[in-house]
Amino acid sequence: MDKEKLIRIIKKAVQAERDGNHFYSEVAEATRDPKAKKMFEQLARDELYHVQMIEDLYHDLLPDAPEDPVKGFPIFEKRKRELGGRLPDLGNEIEVLQKAIEDEKEARDFYGKAAGSFESDPAGEVFADLMEMEEGHIRLLQAELDFMEKTGFYFDHMEFTVEGERD
């Protein structure tokens, strides 16, 4: 196992998850719709759970490493900068959902690459699990976006058809 590479990945992962928690917490606080608020609060909690998973991995595989693995690789903070240091007016929840989906895809891809780098190690399993969790976030956010945009799809299934049933 390449310990230096693992430490770099863990640092990036923990910071990204902490940033995700911060982002989703801010969005939840600013969201007026109670159901959307609950969803963002749950996503914020999920990000903290991911931090715990990664920190547990860090301590299990690298018991002699420094205590705090993390300083700086803000994925979600990049979105805030792109928006001029502010969250979008949550009258425009669609913008927030689109940005969150982009960030979750970036995180999923990051974990997929990390899982591949440590395929036969316990770290690979943890990163693969995190990749699947991020994929779940993407599906949840996409379903909410589809609902908001009234696409006629919900969790990738067409809600109705104008063509009727065929035998």
Helices then strands, counting H and E runs in the chain, come out as 5, 2
What pLDDT is attached to residue 135?
96
State pLDDT tens for residues 95-136. 888 889 999 999 999 999 999 999 888 899 999 999 999 999
In order of their start, the domains of the chain are: 3-158 (1.20.1260.10)
Q: What is the DSSP string of 110-133?
A: HHHHHHHHTTTSHHHHHHHHHHHH
The β-bridge partners of 153 are 158
* Residue ranges for the chain with pLDDT beneath 70: 1, 66-91, 151-167
Of 159, 31, 48, the C-alpha closest to 97 is 31
| 3 state SS of 154 | strand
